[in-house]
Structure 1
Amino acid sequence: MFDAILIISAERVALLLILIYILTNIPRIRQLITEQDTSWKANVICALVIVTIGIIGNHMSIIVVNYQSFLVPISIIAVFLAGALISTKVFLLIVLIIALHLLFITWGQVVGVIASFTFVMLGFGIGSARIRLEREQILTPLYSLSIGVISASMYASIMLVWRMQETPLVQIAINEFVPIVAVISAAIMVLANMLRMTIHDKEQEVAVQTGRAFDISEKVLGYFKEGLNHITAKALGEMLIKELHAEAVAIVDSNEIIAKAGDNTVLYTIETTKNFMELKDATNIVIPYHRSTQKSGYIIIYFKRPNQIRTTELVLAEGLGKLISYQLSLVETEKLRVLLKDTEVRSLQAQINPHFLFNTLNTIVTLIRTKPDEARNVMVHLANFMRMNLKLMAAPLVSLEQELCLLESYIKIIRVRFSERLTINLDIDDNLYHFKLPPATIQPLVENSIQHGLQKVPKNGRVVITIDKVEYGVRVSIKDNGTGIPEERLETLAKQQITSRKGNGIGVYNVNQRLISLLGETSQLHIKNLAEGGCEVSFFLPDRQPERSNY
């Protein structure tokens, strides 16, 4: 009899587990399990499924061997399933329904009462555990085995006490107690493992889809670094067909189809459509994207079959639309930033030229009265300087070699006026001529040293321009032996415009702003008074290019 009860109950448990496996793999029910949906609709669906399993389990629980009926409480499996999936209040209602059904089909039999009592007790036990434990903890092998052993032992023990007067205790233990505990415990462990594998499969799927989304996002960002055009749109369409296994992709920008990829027969309807949102149906996804706050266009993805469009594809499409909108807005913002920066730099350069021209014309006016020949030479040098200056100002950055040519033209003009009062020395390594800097950077600083630093020096004025190689770049220094700068003006001279009758501060400020804008904060001007008298202005040029070959 032991063998018969064990085999029959094991077969029926196996059938019930197969039924549960089939039901839990129905997409809607699988979604409810993996996403832990606690809405009333999800609870109702799960409750109906579990009650059905419990009723089937109740009928399978009655086993007849040699004209004797036995009750193996197989529907304990349904109670455990409800405890793992359903909220506590609904779970207790399900347990009560399964217990009442078992009482109904075993009406008048004590075994039905004992089994129903066991269900209710088990229900309260799992319900209290659900308050303290997460679902993943309930589905662990140790916990599920404990539930199986305790519940089956509870039922078998009560049965043992009730029947011990009519049947020898050893016989009851061997024939009924052992098969019930073994089968129920094993069944609950198998069920827990099935549910755990279902959840794990979903987690793996989520991980794969997340990696896929990141991969697609990375490719999209690569395509849109330069904005949306026919080339990038075509590449995007081909990539989406490959990654999403789509039939065709069309990309519309400003109501114009700028790229198509895939099956042309599928794309035929797009060419005659004015409202692209009307194209949305069961076999395609229409993704709108924006530039700034304005709707700019659509990405239309066609699939062969409606069932290819899962929740994953819809969420990915929504995220893709947001990503493309963000990237396009970012590209436009970057273009605007570059334009504003270029406008700012050109505005600063335009302020420097009139400043130098004004000072030089004053020199010419003075020389015309006393030394007309020298005035004529200054005008020739000025013409050369202005011609070279206009040429260099067209570029944001020029080489040190070009900058020093401009400086040389300026020095020729200055030497006409200060030939007996001023010496200008230039010290530079020949290997540094390739370094870049904004045009007309050194000349305004030399001019500032002469006009203001040496203004009260009647003779032996000196300006030394030194360009040295340092770590990661070049250091440019302009020193004079003049009167220096008042301490209260040192901190603000290059950081804000300082206006006066002679314009001191505008040229230095503009040079500093252009250096910071084009080369970074490390290239800003550093101004200090020297202990031996005079002032030093220095700045740093980063090494952004490889040195030129000597061959």
Structure 2
Amino acid sequence: MLNLVILMIERVGLIIIVAYMLMNIRYFKTMLTKRHYLSTKIQLILVFGIFAIISNFTGVEIGKDQVVSDQLFTTLSENASLANTRVLTIGVSGLIGGPFVGVSVGIISGIHRFTQGGEAAFIYVVSSILIGLFTGLYGMRTMKKNHYPTVIEGIIIGALAEGIQMACILILSSNFRDSIELVRFISLPMVLINSLGTAIFLSIIRTTLQQEEQTKAVQTHDVLQLANETLPFFRQGMYEEPCTAAAEIIMRFIKVSAVSITDQERILAHVGAGSDHHIPSNAILTDLSKEVLREGKVKEAFTHEEIGCHHKGCPLEAAIVIPLKSKDRTVGVLKMYFTDKNELTYVIKQLAEGLGNIISSQIELGEAELQGKLLKDAEIKSLQAQVNPHFFFNAINTISALIRVDSEQARALLVQLSHYFRANLQGARTNLIPLAKELEHVEAYLSIEQARFPERYQVEFRIEPSLNQVLLPPFIIQLLVENAIRHAFEGRKVDNHVLVSAHAIENNLVLSVSDNGFGIKSDRLGKLGREIVPSEKGTGSALENLNKRLVSLFGESAALKIETSNKGTTFSCMVPCKERTKDHAYPTR
């Protein structure tokens, strides 16, 4: 009997080793969290069915005069029996997957055992099905509570399952004396081994899943704490100073060698190893980052070559790169680097991906706040810089003078002035208006300016009629036209031409405002649209505000482009051709 116990411990050990290996496979762990799905139950039947067949092959043959254990048993002697871990396998399958899984594995195991032959082999078909049903019904109870049986429950259920096996041998055997002798010899070792094996199997499952939950809890805590500390910085936008502060916080929380953040074109922050050549403001260095920006998917690298940094002597050997997204477009990447590739663990990957998702949400919220702020700022700047008292009084004086000489023209100008004020107020209420509405606003502005300075400016419009309902930010054309009138000609009173054009390229609207002025000085050119550039005639904030709104609404591809020479200047931008829908309602006159 002691010899049989030792032999069966070896067999149980094999099953336990396989169980441990399975629980270290991500797919199997995930499957065990979805036990209620039919697809999961079918997979469990396949896995445990294979376990059961292996148990039959690796059992211990028990004859009247000898015990055989040193071979795989495809067939048994006519009067021999087989001690194996089949009951353990069926029992665990039922406890995990319920009666459907337990009975199915029992049928597979019982039929295979029947094909091996031996003394009264049909008994093991019956016992296998009954064990699968019994353990499955108990497993169904725990499935409803969404947990697994405890180790103590496993010991008791394992012993009872083996008891069913012994009872079937005694009841169904045609030779009662031989069956009594067999049960006396194998019952204690089998009950002991089956109880112990079931308990260990369940312990491995419960411990692994508990560790998984604990890891997720730690990850969630770390991500939330990180998000809380970095939130103020990412909501400021994708700029060097806030991104550097956020990268330093991430570096402090997570055990990585370096943290880097980029936008679509350049490095915004890099702290840690490699700081000597991964320098903020420089263009993106690594091929891996460029690939993530193109595809918008998380990428991992475990060699210097996979990272794709072409700087000789770069110490970075592994990386995980997470796309940062806003409104389904990739606006940058978060990179975590390692000087030792073994430090890039599964936990770090999960933490990084979770953090990337939260940062993306914060960036999108920040952009929404920025858009609201910019829209309000556009309203204020429009009223201050464009409808300022000086412009207003000049317009009124012009109308007043015309009343005496041309009352009809004065009335028309008064209507245009009313339209101009109304367009400013309407444009402040929405992010996008149709091109046709913007052109009406521009015409109202020009009618007043040309009444004040007859024949000084000639403004020509070349607009494709099919583009009239395309949406674009309010004030965009008016600001560019006014910028040309106020700054391009430097006091020149004749031959001042401005051309406003709009045409379609593929699915985009290309808008441009050109003048034949004196051009922009080189020391101001690089700053226009990117920062406030004060001048004698204004605050210089209108172009910066307009450019920020374009980028925030449509991305970097919509940013203002400036071409200038001593023969004139062209401001242009490209926006997607989207027309008004219910989601893009705008106020009407």
- TM-score, normalised to structure 1, is 0.52
Secondary structure (helix, strand or coil) at the match of 2:177 reads: coil
**Is the Cα contact below 8 Å between 2:237 and 2:367 reproduced in 1?**
no
Q: Which residue of structure 2 lines up, in the alignment, with residue 125 of structure 1?
A: 134
Residue 164 of structure 1: how far off its partner (Å): 6.8
Identical counterparts, % of pairs: 19
Structure 1 residue 160 corresponds to structure 2 residue 166:
no
Q: What is the CA–CA distance in structure 2 between the aligned matches of 1:131 and 1:35, rounded to whole Å?
A: 13
Q: Which residue of 1 aligns with 2:157?
A: 147
2:109 counterpart of 1:98: yes
Task: State the alpha-carbon separation in 1 of the partners of residues 147 and 136 from structure 2.
Answer: 14
Matches within 5 A, 1:163-312: 165-167=176-178, 169=180, 174-224=184-234, 226-253=236-263, 255-264=265-274, 267=278, 270-271=284-285, 277-278=293-294, 281-283=299-301, 284-289=319-324, 296-303=331-338, 305=341, 308=344, 310=346, 312=350
Q: What SS does the corresponding residue of 1:25 show, helix, strand or coil?
A: coil
CA contact (8 A) 2:326 2:363 kept: yes
Match among 41, 46, 49 for residue 47 of structure 2: 49
Q: Distance in 2 between matches of 1:8 and 1:292?
A: 63
| Shift in CA distance, 242/213, structure 1 to aligned 2, threshold 3 Å | same
The residue type equivalent to 2:358 in the other structure is L
Deviation at 1:34, TM superposition (A): 4.8
Long gaps (5+) in structure 1: 351-551
Q: 1:426-441 maps to which residues of 2 (within 5 A)?
A: none
Q: Provide the rounded CA distance (Å) in 2 between the counterparts of 1:37 and 1:165.
A: 42
Which residue is 1:373 aligned to?
none
Partner of 1:493: none
State the one-letter code of the partner of 1:198.
Answer: T
- Which deviations, in whole Å up to 9, do the C-alpha atoms of 1:126-160 show, x marking residues without a partner? 33444444175552245423422222112112323
Distance, in Å, in 2 between the alignment partners of 1:91 and 1:53 is 13
Q: Aligned partners of 2:177 and 2:269: how far apart in 1?
A: 86
Q: Which moved more, 1:148-157 or 1:306-315?
A: 306-315
Gaps of 5+ in 2: 68-79, 302-318, 389-589
SS in 1 for 2:300: coil
Aligned to 1:450: none
**1:316: Cα distance to partner?**
1.1
| 1:220–1:324 Cα contact (<8 Å) kept | no
- C-alpha offsets along residues 292-341 of structure 1, whole Å, 9 cap, x if unaligned? 78764333444564993746146414423433324423652674598699
Kept in 2, the 8 Å contact 1:38–1:87? The answer is no
Residues 450-508 of structure 1 deviation map (CA, whole Å, 9 limit, x = unaligned): xxxxxxxxxxxxxxxxxxxxxxxxxxxxxxxxxxxxxxxxxxxxxxxxxxxxxxxxxxx
Is it true that 1:79 corresponds to 2:77 in the alignment?
no
Structure 1: distance between partners of 2:93 and 2:321 = 40
Asked which structure has the greater CA Rg, the reply is 1
Contact kept? 1:251, 1:258, Cα under 8 Å = yes
**1:393-404 matched pairs, under 5 angstroms:** none
Q: How does 1:260-409 map to 2 (within 5 A)?
A: 260-264=270-274, 267=278, 270-271=284-285, 277-278=293-294, 281-283=299-301, 284-289=319-324, 296-303=331-338, 305=341, 308=344, 310=346, 312-313=350-351, 315-329=353-367, 331-332=369-370, 335=373
Task: For residue 234 of structure 1, report the CA deviation from its aligned partner.
Answer: 1.3
Instruction: Give the paired residue count.
Output: 344
Give the letter aligned to residue 54 of structure 2.
Answer: I
- Cα deviations across residues 350-397 of structure 1 (Å, max 9, x unaligned)? 9xxxxxxxxxxxxxxxxxxxxxxxxxxxxxxxxxxxxxxxxxxxxxxx
Per the alignment, do residues 39 and 308 of structure 1 end up closer, same or farther by CA in structure 2, a change over 3 Å counting? farther
Q: Which amino acid aligns with 1:23?
A: L
Length-normalised TM-score, structure 2: 0.49
Q: What's the offset of the Cα at 1:120? A: 0.9
Q: Cα distance 1:67–1:188, how it changes in 2: closer, same or farther (>3 A)?
A: same
RMSD: 4.2
Alignment-derived partner of residue 544 in structure 2: none
Displacement of 1:12 in angstroms is 2.4
Kept in 2, the 8 Å contact 1:282–1:306? The answer is: no
SS of structure 1 residue aligned to 2:284? helix
Are 1:289 and 1:324, in contact at CA under 8 Å, matched by a contact in 2?
Answer: no
Residue pair 2:91, 2:102 contacting (<8 A) in 1 also:
no
Q: CA deviation at 1:119?
A: 1.1
1:134 alignment partner, SS class: helix
